[in-house]
Amino acid sequence: MRLSTIPAGLLLLAACGGGGSGGGAPPPAPLPPQQGITPVTEIQGDGAVSPLEGQTVTIRALVTGDFQENDADDLSNLGGFYVQDIPDGNLATSEGIFVFDGNTPATDVSVGNTVEVQGTVNEYFGETQINATSVRVAGSGTILPFPLRLPAQATIANSDGDIIANLEHLEGMLVTLPQELTVSEVRNLERFGSLTLSQDGRLYQFTNGNTPDVAAYTAHKTSIAARSIVLDDGRRSSNPADPRYLGVRAGDTITSLTGNLRYSRGSGGDGAEAWRLMPTATPAIASENPRPAAPAIDGAVRVASFNVLNFFSTIDTGQNSCGPQGNQACRGADSSEEQNRQLAKIVAALALIDADIVGLIELENNASASLRMIVDALNARIGGGDYSFVDTGVIHDDVIKTGFIYKTSTIDLAGDFATLDHSVDSRFNDARNRPALAQSFATTDTGAMVTVVVNHLKSKGSSCESDGDPNTGDGQGNCNQTRTSAAAAIADWIATDPTGSNDPDVLIIGDLNAYLQEGPLKALKNAGMTNLLDASIDAYSFVFDAQAGALDHALASASLVPQVVAAMEWHINADEPALLDYNLEHGRDPALFDPDSPYRASDHDPVIVGLDLVN
């Protein structure tokens, strides 16, 4: 830090910092502290917890971020303000700190004020703070933000065991990120008003483009942690009525971001522990990933796969009355209003997809009510009665199932449907995977046929260790062998022509819960299936933990490949915040919902394939 001559009561600061990321010239020797004043760097120390925690201190420093309650700025409310002090020459310690002065502060401060603060040192969800008992404005000055460049030079595990960037030496300081950052996740926009940003483009799942490997996956996690930071909204209230970054999609970019660096779980004690930037200037966001229009894809026959995010015809009022036995927890909409909103979104998307055949995933597993509701609403939207559904009845014993709808004007059913479960092949664990559903279809004009198999394999969300299938740490997550064995069983099953079509043209679609380079996809590839989305490692249909990846797939048999005209993911869901879906929880403003918009109809993007079928 460079210091100018300091007139009485005036502190004039230039770019300073605790060192580390950002580089710059080493700071000059610090000035001796004023009598009775504790330097901020002594309060911060060189560790995560202040060595002076619980002690009463007096500091004299410059306000760099005004986040007080009940002042003229109603967009930045954290219950206090950030200050920055003269550096001590120690690159391992921060010169910034947050001063908490409550809901009704006695002294209104502004950026540029030099303040004298007395209070108690406190750790609040990992952030070192001063709980102020008195605040006095004692002059004014200026400060330039410290340039923070990602990736961070080091990472550390937070208290949850997750790897994050180690920016402790900059805690509380005013920083600027002079780089283009990409929005990698918008999941927490509603709950915490935050976006996850990453350096060097958006983040992708390791096994979307890499062979599973323990050491390489560990390095991947470290790399993305060093590249990532959270842009917060500068509020301590959760679920804000007017979200600050509404309209932002994953894939958009931000440049020259400036604010105070905070370590927090988000609003209060919820959320993940992470470094969050509280903006002191309005971020400049560029729409690099605009919403896609209706899908334009060639081919006389259009086939789609669509995970509809637990569409249930039964309202979830907390009862255990769903599933084939009527004893399982219901999912999806919690009221008729939510159900109407969910159905409207799904139908808006299906009408624009305009597919001849659609495999639906995450339907309530009942006789026909869930499918019938979708078909009736879709037909009402497009006019007429073109769409029908394959009447499979209840499938096995899970609370959800897959299903088919199709256009009767262009498609005929060719024979009966077939299902694959444990009774057909012992490798297919139907206690974990939903049974595969196959149906052969024929075009009404030429009779050309294709058999479509829709799937929903076991998710990565819960463990299969009790089945002898642990998470090995190679990037494939929980239950990889369960999914891989099921995929091998599917490949062998379709070779037996389960629908009796006498036609080798097969299209496997659905939510395989596996990324491009994982075991299930390799098992299908080894069986001669071609992944139609395998041309690019940045293919994706889902975003989890700020990383995009392809969980939803379309794979063609060797005979069908020459008849495939095109395949695509329609990115209407994964890049959009959940704030826009059908739910009305957390006091959400109902006016944010657009029933005629397909965006955030689900959490998975649909996959669409165009075919020119031949006899």
* DSSP string for residues in 82-135: EEE----S-TTS-SEEEEE--SS-SS---TTEEEEEEEEEEEETTEEEEEEEEE
What pLDDT sits at residue 266?
78
Q: How confident is the model at residue 535 (pLDDT cuts 50, 70, 90)?
A: low
Tell me the residue type at 13.
L
Cα dihedral sign for 81, 84, 85, 91? Answer: positive
- The pLDDT tens digits of the residues spanning 512-523 come to 999 999 999 999
DSSP state at residue 246: T
**What's at 83, amino acid-wise?**
V
Alpha carbon distance 348, 71 (integer Å): 43
Does residue 156 carry a pLDDT above 70? yes
Q: For residues 38 and 95, give the distance between their C-alpha atoms in angstroms, rounded to a whole number.
A: 12
Q: What is the pLDDT of residue 86?
A: 85
DSSP of 578-594, one letter per residue?
GGGSS--GGG--GGG--
For residue 271, what pLDDT band results from cuts at 50, 70 and 90? confident
Q: Check pLDDT > 70 for residue 28.
A: no
What confidence score (pLDDT) does residue 268 get?
Answer: 66
Confidence band for 138, pLDDT divided at 50, 70 and 90: very high
What pLDDT is stored for residue 16 in this prediction? Answer: 40
Mean pLDDT of 261-289: 90
Query: Poorest-confidence range of 57-71, 483-497, 530-544?
Result: 530-544
Whether the per-residue pLDDT at 320 is higher than 50: the answer is: yes
pLDDT of 19 over the 90 cut: no
The region of weakest confidence among 1-5, 177-181, 562-566 is: 1-5
Q: Are 301 and 357 in contact (CB under 8 A)?
A: yes
* Residue 457 confidence (pLDDT) above 80: yes
Percent of the chain residues topping a pLDDT of 90: 86
**How is 175-224 classified by DSSP, letter by letter?**
EEEEEEEEEEE-TTHHHHS-EEEEESS-EE-HHHHS---HHHHHHHHHHH
Q: What is the DSSP letter of 303?
A: E
| pLDDT reported for residue 409 | 98
**pLDDT, tens only, 378-403:** 999 999 999 999 999 999 999 999 99
Beta strands in 211-273 (DSSP E): 228-231, 253-264
Domains of the chain, first to last: 40-144 (2.40.50.200), 147-286 (2.40.50), 301-611 (3.60.10.10)
Cα dist from 432 to 29, 217, 428, 520, whole Å: 64, 25, 9, 14
Q: Nearest 5°: phi and psi at 249?
A: -115, 150
Average pLDDT over residues 210-232: 98
- pLDDT for the residue 513: 98
Q: What integer is the mean pLDDT of 179-188?
A: 96
Give the pLDDT confidence score for residue 27 in this predicted structure: 45
Contact (CB, 8 A) for 217 and 605:
no
Q: Residue 570 in contact with residue 608, Cβ under 8 Å?
A: yes
For residue 373, pLDDT beyond 50:
yes
* pLDDT tops 70 at residue 26: no
Average pLDDT of span 25-51: 78
Q: Which residues of 63-83 are buried (b: 16+ CB within 10 A; e: fewer)?
A: bbbbbbbeeeeeebbbbbbbb
- Give me the chain's average pLDDT, please: 93
pLDDT of 343 over the 50 cut: yes
Q: Is the pLDDT of residue 23 over 50?
A: no
Place of tokens 């590839």: 525
The pLDDT of residue 20 is above 70: no
| 10 pLDDT more than 90 | no
**170 by DSSP, 3-state: which?**
helix
> Residue 401 in contact with residue 368, Cβ under 8 Å?
no
pLDDT-derived band of residue 33, with 50, 70 and 90 as boundaries?
low
pLDDT (average), residues 89-106: 94
b (16+ CB within 10 A) / e for 382-417: eeeebbbbbebeebbebbbbbbbbbbeebbebbbeb
Q: What is the pLDDT of residue 536?
A: 66
Res 270: pLDDT: 77
- 207 burial class (0-12, 13-18, 19+ CB within 10 angstroms)? buried
